[in-house]
Amino acid sequence: MQETVDLSLFARPSGDGTLGMDLAVEGIACGACIGRIESAVKRLPGVTQARLNYTNRRLHVDWTDGALTPAQILQTLEEAGYHGYPFAPLRAEEEAAAEARRLTRCLAVAGFAAMNIMLLSVSVWAGNSSDITPETRDFFHWASALIALPAAAYAGRPFFASAWQALRAGALNMDVPISLGVILALGLSVVETANHAKDAYFDSAIMLLFFLLVGRALDHAMRRKTRAVAGNLAALKAETAHRFSGDELVSVPVAALQAGDRVLVKAGERVPADGGVLSGVSELDESLITGETARRKVAAGATIYAGSLNYSGALTMRATAADRATLLDEIERLLEQAATAKSRAMRLADRAARLYAPLVHLTAAATFAGWWLAGASLHDAVVTAIAVLIITCPCALALAIPAVQVVASGALFRAGVILNAGDALERLGEADTVVFDKTGTLTLPEPRVVDASAVDRNLLQMAARLALSSRHPLAQALARESASHIPYDVVTEEPGQGVRAMLGGIEARLGSAAFCGVAPVAAGQPGASHIYFVYGSRAATIAIAQKLRPDAAEVVQALRRRGLTLHILSGDRAGAVRPVAEALGITKWLAEVKPAEKIAFIEALKRQGHRVLMVGDGLNDAPALAAASVSLSPIAAADVTQAQADAVFLGERLKPVLDALVIGRRARALMKENLMSAAIYNMIAVPVAILGWITPLIAALAMSGSSLMVTLNALRGGRAA
Amino acid sequence: MNVLVYLIPMALGLGLLGLFGFLWALRSGQYSDVDGAALRVLADDDIDPKPLQ
């Protein structure tokens, strides 16, 4: 049956009769790929534009409507040696791009203003100690005001808006003292300039905005970069489903499936939607959903869930996305509850702001009252109080945490960990207990050959190469052992039984025991499935099972050395969990745990005062991930689960979990150090300000000095774990 | 010191020119693919390959 591909879901009209599509491109290795990809796609008839963004590995193509189908673009990329994955840009990503442009514009304006005002201010400072005339000084001050006031009104908006929002909600955040400091500094300076005073603080206010915007823009850029990578990975993972339209099979993205669609699920594919089986008999691996590794037999009438792996036969199913299956319903309900519970945890920065803002405002008020009662003029008392507000304006404090976050999330990114949540770093640093799921987390997501050395090497290689021609999951696990990536020429597949081929004039068969004509293994490896291979008179039995991640034992040991308590919570049978726990030396393990019980277990740990890191990949883990203090998920995890995790790690190894904890701890320590040094700075600067000794020059020096100090300190967080 | 009356506005005007230049570059997407721009400059796509063959 010829299958057509329908990707119209991803093509979006761009207004002038053309359609546009974005693709995540895999396989870009060097700069030369840019030209190769763009010219190949541009040669297609009807393509008006093809532009590859090398930074985020995405290709945007525009073409005249009707001139070609999106599938042709994919095929052209395929022929050029690249894989393209169409994706619909997430709304969140587009909003982040707009926000980044806004921040950069504010940063540019603040930078321009800060430089020009500094130029004028330095002249005034120099002139004040020599022979500047009051008229010239006033002129310089008015010129500064002319630059500073519009610049602050434009570049200060991110802070003013956030402060206003916090105040309206009856809360205090770091932006409240910042906004107040900037506005008062500018207001005071205008009044002082009108009175021909010696000092004005235009430069302090604008420099403060500039430094803070640098921190904010960097933080934002780092987060966008990781989000773009996460978006590409999601596109790479997005699977297609085979939908019947009439009698014809059409390959569509899973997102385009609707309730009532008739869908074919071939052997070796994942079930694309929840639904009921119409025809066919097969076995399903539901480990991604329940953690259970034993397979379930299904036939017509059975209910099946999205994410299950179809093991043996082809199934025709009817999707029922509209009336959600009870399992997903249950998981989503638990998720919501757990997520609201977590949002109550407060971030370090907000805690500092809650402490800091009232303290600063009280100090300023006390300064005013003190000077006034001591007999100073109203003018002098106000000026001194405002100087206190300016000098305590939390430049270093506001940079203390974002600077560390930027550097540490860069280090995490290089270690293969992508942060989803902004405050995950702090929470990672606090974790003292790690709860692992078993299937797909401690073990590799796909099964592997258990003991390759027990089988004759030549036979194993032959079997593995033969397995390349089969879509059966056991065969695919065996195919990973193959040194060659080229399948044998003429291979016949007997659906549900095995594959056979003539190799050098002798028949080779790979498949079930009956298919190979040998006796099945009575009691082989526990928890393993067996696949049989015969080549003439020689035969081999190959055991395939879930295998531990290659560095699981080392990582578990390293975690224990760092004083973390380790648990395993699995939905799988005790017989399957025990060997894993014993191999890793984890004594605290529980098997056959239901999603609600996982939550209860984690809640109990939290009540005892532990900070729990949950590492899991299954749908059954998603609520537990949300309930834990912080959560990690491998990239192979189910979509719902991944969305719930604070961070996602890439690759086959478990080491990123260790790296994440190490970098998180270091980041937290640096954040505390930075908050501490900002506090020390204030302890020195505030008394000076209260005494009324602050000049604009001292304010400028103090502000840049303290900002530089916390930024340099934050850079120490960038080393690899 | 009267020279300042037109020197300072001139300096500001030049600064503003730079600022608008940057904002224009930002709007026209010149910062959306920083890594790619560094490599594109090396591509010989402006040379017609035919006369060389």
A 87-146 residues with CB below 8 A of B? 101, 104-105, 108-109, 112, 115-116, 119-120, 133, 136, 139, 143
**Residue A65: per-residue pLDDT:** 82
Element (H, E) at A544: strand A538-545
A659 within a domain of the structure (yes/no): yes
B25 within a domain of the structure (yes/no): yes
The first and second tokens of residue B43, run together, are 């591509």
Please tell me if residue A244 touches chain B, with a CB cutoff of 8 Å: no
Least confident of A306-310, B16-20, B43-47: B43-47
- CATH code assigned at A474: 3.40.1110.10
Of A64, A88, A112, the last residue of a domain is A88
A29 within a domain of the structure (yes/no): yes
For chain A, what's the residue count? 721
A305 within a domain of the structure (yes/no): no
Domain span including residue A530: 448-545
Q: A559 and A525 in one domain?
A: no
What is the SS3 assignment for A658-684? Answer: HHHHHHHHHHHHHHHHHHHHHHHHHHH
- pLDDT > 70: what percent of chain A? 91
Query: Residue A69's pLDDT band (boundaries 50, 70, 90)?
Result: confident
| Contact: B18, A112; criterion CB under 8 Å | yes
- Does residue A33 have a pLDDT over 50? yes
B15 within a domain of the structure (yes/no): yes
Q: A1 and A39 in one domain?
A: yes
* Radius of gyration in angstroms for the set of CA atoms belonging to chain A, rounded to a whole number: 32
Provide the greatest CA pair distance for chain B.
68
- Does residue A275 have a pLDDT over 80? yes
Assign A588 to helix, strand or coil: coil
Q: A588 and A537 in one domain?
A: no
**Residue A323: per-residue pLDDT:** 42
- Does residue A107 have a pLDDT over 50? yes
Distances, alpha carbon A644 to alpha carbons A223, A225, A341, A627, in Å: 17, 19, 13, 10
The first and second tokens of residue A110, run together, are 């603040």
Q: A568 and A436 in one domain?
A: yes
A423 within a domain of the structure (yes/no): yes
Query: How far, in whole angstroms, is CA B48 from its chain's centroid?
Result: 27
Residues 6 or more apart whose Cβ sits within 8 Å of residue A405: A219, A222, A422, A425, A667
Q: A647 and A500 in one domain?
A: no
Q: A118 and A194 in one domain?
A: yes
CB atoms within 10 A of CB A566: 18
Task: Tell me which residue of A664, A235, A650, A621 sits closest to A437, measured CA to CA.
Answer: A621
Distances, alpha carbon A237 to alpha carbons A85, A234, A637, in Å: 9, 5, 10
Q: A560 and A426 in one domain?
A: yes
Size of interface A-B (CB pairs under 8 A): 56
B19 within a domain of the structure (yes/no): yes
pLDDT tens string A321-335: 644 444 555 556 665
Of A42, A64, A88, the last residue of a domain is A88
| Contact: A31, B43; criterion CB under 8 Å | yes
Nearest to B42 among A31, A136, A139 (CB): A31
**Residue A692: per-residue pLDDT:** 82
pLDDT tens string A533-553: 988 888 888 888 888 888 989
B35 within a domain of the structure (yes/no): yes
Q: Distance, in angstroms, between A519 CA and closest chain B CA? A: 60
- Given a contact cutoff of 8 angstroms between Cβ atoms, the answer to whether A52 and A34 are in contact is yes
- Does residue A24 have a pLDDT over 60? yes
| Contact: A104, B39; criterion CB under 8 Å | no
B18 within a domain of the structure (yes/no): yes
Least confident of A187-201, A241-255, A292-306: A241-255
Task: Tell me which residue of A221, A646, A85 sits closest to A418, measured CA to CA.
Answer: A646
Of A665, A680, A714, the last residue of a domain is A665
Provide mean pLDDT across the span A160-181. 86
Query: How many separate helices (H) and strands (E) can be counted in chain B?
Result: 2, 0
Provide mean pLDDT across the span A665-684. 86
Q: A614 and A509 in one domain?
A: no
A251 within a domain of the structure (yes/no): no
Amino acid making up residue B26? L
- Given a contact cutoff of 8 angstroms between Cβ atoms, the answer to whether A183 and A176 are in contact is no
Nearest to B36 among A34, A119, A147 (CB): A34
d(CA A651, CA A659): 13
Identify the residue whose tokens are 């193509």: A61
Query: How far, in whole angstroms, is CA B43 from its chain's centroid?
Result: 20
- Given a contact cutoff of 8 angstroms between Cβ atoms, the answer to whether A699 and A204 are in contact is yes
**Residue A53: per-residue pLDDT:** 87
Assign A342 to helix, strand or coil: helix
**Residue A324: per-residue pLDDT:** 43
A53/A718: higher pLDDT: A53
- CATH code assigned at A629: 3.40.50.1000
Residues 6 or more apart whose Cβ sits within 8 Å of residue A291: A437, A438, A439, A570, A571, A572, A593, A618, A620, A621
Task: Tell me which residue of A448, A649, A482, A477 sits closest to A550, measured CA to CA.
Answer: A448
A320 within a domain of the structure (yes/no): no
Most confident of A3-7, A471-475, A559-563, A671-675: A559-563
Query: Residue A234's pLDDT band (boundaries 50, 70, 90)?
Result: low
Q: Distance, in angstroms, between A201 CA and closest chain B CA? A: 19
Tell me how many domains chain A contains: 4
Domain span including residue B20: 7-41
Identify the residue whose tokens are 């638990």: A334
Q: A454 and A423 in one domain?
A: no
Residues 6 or more apart whose Cβ sits within 8 Å of residue A121: A140, A144, A202, A203, A696, A700
- Given a contact cutoff of 8 angstroms between Cβ atoms, the answer to whether A682 and A392 are in contact is yes
* Radius of gyration in angstroms for the set of CA atoms belonging to chain B, rounded to a whole number: 20
pLDDT tens string B31-45: 888 888 888 888 776
Q: Mutate which of B30, B39, B41, B46 to test chain A, going by most A C-beta atoms within 10 A?
A: B39
Q: A37 and A130 in one domain?
A: no
Task: Tell me which residue of A149, A116, A206, A188 sits closest to A703, measured CA to CA.
Answer: A206
pLDDT tens string A178-194: 888 889 889 989 998 99
Provide mean pLDDT across the span A472-493. 79
pLDDT tens string A579-631: 889 888 888 999 888 888 888 999 999 999 899 999 988 777 888 888 888 99
A397/A537: higher pLDDT: A537
Distances, alpha carbon A24 to alpha carbons A87, A257, A686, in Å: 7, 21, 53
B12 within a domain of the structure (yes/no): yes
Task: Tell me which residue of A517, A540, A385, A372 sits closest to A449, measured CA to CA.
Answer: A540
pLDDT tens string A43-56: 888 888 888 888 88
Q: Apex CA A89: angle with CA A85 and CA A94, to 5°?
A: 150
3-state helix, strand, coil in chain A (%, to 5): 55, 20, 30
B4 neighbourhood in chain A, CB within 8 Å: 136, 139
Residue A529, sorted as left (phi over 0), alpha (psi -120 to 50) or beta, turns out to be: beta
Element (H, E) at A35: helix A32-42
- CATH code assigned at A3: 3.30.70.100
Q: What ipTM does this complex have?
A: 0.84
| Contact: B40, A31; criterion CB under 8 Å | yes
B36 neighbourhood in chain A, CB within 8 Å: 34, 52-55
Q: Distance, in angstroms, between B50 CA and closest chain A CA? A: 16
B48 neighbourhood in chain A, CB within 8 Å: none
- Does residue A495 have a pLDDT over 50? yes
d(CA A110, CA A544): 62
B53 within a domain of the structure (yes/no): no
A202 within a domain of the structure (yes/no): yes
The DSSP symbol for A522 reads S
Tell me how many domains chain B contains: 1
B21 within a domain of the structure (yes/no): yes
Distances, alpha carbon A155 to alpha carbons A35, A522, B40, in Å: 39, 75, 33
Q: A557 and A477 in one domain?
A: no
Burial class (CB in 10 A: 0-12, 13-18, 19+), A706: buried
Q: A117 and A65 in one domain?
A: no
Residues 6 or more apart whose Cβ sits within 8 Å of residue A358: A172
Pairing of strands A275-279, A282-285: unpaired
Q: Mutate which of A51, A55, A60, A99 to test chain B, going by most B C-beta atoms within 10 A?
A: A55
Provide mean pLDDT across the span A259-272. 81
**Residue A514: per-residue pLDDT:** 84
Amino acid making up residue A34? I
**Residue A408: per-residue pLDDT:** 86
What mean pLDDT, rounded, does chain A reach?
82
Query: How far, in whole angstroms, is CA A338 from its chain's centroid?
Result: 19
Identify the residue whose tokens are 């298919």: A515
